Amino acid sequence: MADRPHKRTILVTGCSSGIGAYCARALNTEGWLVVASARTEDDLRKLREDGLEAFYLDYSDDRSIRDFFDNAMAVTGGTCDALFNNGGYGQVGAVEDVPVEALRAQFEANVFGWHQLTRLVLPVMRRAGHGRIVQCSSILGLVPMRFRGAYNASKHALEGLSVTLALELENTGIHVSLIEPGAIDTEFRSNALTHLHRNIDIENSVHRDDYKAQLRRLDQALTSGKRRLGPEAVHAVLRHALTSPRPRYHYPVTREARIGVIARRLLPSRWFYPFLARQD
């Protein structure tokens, strides 16, 4: 838009709730021109009422990704200083219980859609000679957990793809960073529960007792009222990744995530993997 060329522009995806919703609104308050995405008209309306540009995006729908990008370029005058890829979901289930279709859907939402949007943004950043690409990954992209195989794999793939991209963009003025949160107080766990019941045959699984135990713990966690770190913790490191002259490649968030990174680096596999096998 003609009256906004001085504003830094950022595309933020997955803004229906949680990390994306918080970060998009916080960046808008800080003076960014934020183009946000969501998947329902109600969420889009709320974002627009708060002063954000907002358009539909479904990472598993190629056409919607292209439309979102085109709409974003229309409101920013063809500029994009930053992209914050966020959103997606976590498919819970033992590796042997996850149908191929569910694994494919996990990668569509958590990897392939992100890759497509990133490829659309990169030529814009190259023409400008600068840019920031920040991927909201997960500590599970570095330190896996049992019964999270599909999600672990999608985040490991994202880590590998993003670090490779960072290497290829050296000396271009475009920086790539990965944020790796542990458990954050969002709707992620309840959404993961939906996908568990949708795609996993719990009653006929050899892991049935493990699933039942995990469901009991999840129910206790959701009703206990115990607070985890909120999305503001992610916003704090996102702001550094977007504005620092020397942004980091990796930003682990939460105490557990930082401990996991250190343990992975220091402990031999014969100790580290058995330790992970006892975690839920």
Residue 170: exposed, middle, or buried by beta-carbon count in 10 A (0-12, 13-18, 19+)?
exposed
Cα–Cα distance between 217 and 237 in angstroms, integer? 30
Q: Within a domain: residue 151?
A: yes
Starting at the edge strand found earlier in the chain, the sheet holding 131-136 runs 53-56, 33-38, 9-12, 82-85, 131-136, 174-181, 250-253
Q: Within a domain: residue 231?
A: yes
- The one-letter code for the residue type at 191 is N
Question: Under a CB-based contact definition with an 8 Å cutoff, are residues 231 and 185 in contact?
Answer: yes
Question: Under a CB-based contact definition with an 8 Å cutoff, are residues 152 and 144 in contact?
Answer: yes
Q: 123: domain CATH number?
A: 3.40.50.720
Does 243 score more than 60 pLDDT? Answer: yes
Domain that holds residue 86: 9-277
Buried b (16+ CB within 10 A) or exposed e, 88-114: bbbbbbbeebbeeebbebbbbbbbbbb
* Active site amino acids: 151
Beta strands in 14-111 (DSSP E): 33-38, 53-56, 82-85
Quote the pLDDT of residue 225.
55
Q: Within a domain: residue 272?
A: yes
Q: How confident is the model at residue 182 (pLDDT cuts 50, 70, 90)?
A: confident
Report pTM: 0.91
Q: How confident is the model at residue 274 (pLDDT cuts 50, 70, 90)?
A: confident
Does 276 score more than 90 pLDDT? Answer: no
Q: Within a domain: residue 1?
A: no
Cα–Cα distance between 181 and 135 in angstroms, integer? 11
Q: Within a domain: residue 264?
A: yes
Structure tokens at 162: 């993003």
Quote the pLDDT of residue 264.
81
Q: State how many domains the chain has.
A: 1
From 55-59, 95-99, 210-214, 240-244, the region with the lowest mean pLDDT? 210-214
Q: How confident is the model at residue 2 (pLDDT cuts 50, 70, 90)?
A: very low
Q: Within a domain: residue 4?
A: no
Q: How confident is the model at residue 222 (pLDDT cuts 50, 70, 90)?
A: low
Average pLDDT over the chain, rounded to an integer? 91
How far is the CA of 63 from the CAs of 60, 66, 76, 111, 121, in angstroms? 9, 5, 20, 16, 15
